[in-house]
Structure 1
């Protein structure tokens, strides 16, 4: 899995995307010609303080590492956390991420 890091990559996905929304996360998907999967995680200050925001990012990264079989090839994905993601339990986060990944295939 590759990471989306540059402002240009994020802007490209924000411009041309297919949006999938759940109660805790929003997925912005962009099809690409290459056969790799790249993801970027966005957690705004609305989610909580720095400790909470980093916890949400760690949980999403852990999920992405554990569930590589769900990664669609040829996709760049931005995962945006909603404010309720900061207080959600790990099991609820995993369930929603699995459901959203199944919806984007």
Structure 2
């Protein structure tokens, strides 16, 4: 699990990242990255819509993504805020595919 200080909590932060940040997508997810000019810790948030599946499936996808992002949080720039949006294909994707897609999108948005 991500520590509390590493999570995005407010809707305003989610909106800022998705509107002003850079974006990269893959078959299973879309990553948005924004560097907060005010500074702060690296933070991550997740968006898993009903299109992914029922509540059980959405929570499973969110847990898998949270685990992967926790391992790669240090890849983000200082005060970077990351929002990972799961696409419907993420529900049936194996963890290796999710990790590959996450690393690919992180590499593209961190450039």
TM-score (norm 1): 0.89
Partner of 1:84: 89
| Residue 35 (structure 1) shift | 5.2
Partner of 2:23: 19
Supply the RMSD in Å over aligned alpha carbons: 1.5
> After TM superposition, where is structure 1 displaced by more than 3 Å over at least 4 residues in a row?
none
Question: What CA distance in whole angstroms lies between the structure 1 residues aligned with 2:44 and 2:76?
Answer: 9
Unaligned runs of 5+ in 2: none
Aligned length: 105
Say which is worse superposed, 75-84 or 24-33, in terms of deviation: 24-33
- What SS does the corresponding residue of 2:98 show, helix, strand or coil? helix
* Post-superposition offset of 1:92: 0.6
Q: 1:15-62, CA deviations, whole angstroms, 9 ceiling, x for partnerless residues?
A: 212111111111111121215211100000000011110111101111
Deviation at 1:95, TM superposition (A): 1.0
TM-score, normalised relative to structure 2: 0.85
- The reply to whether residue 97 of structure 1 matches residue 102 of structure 2 is yes
Residue 8 of structure 1: how far off its partner (Å)? 1.4
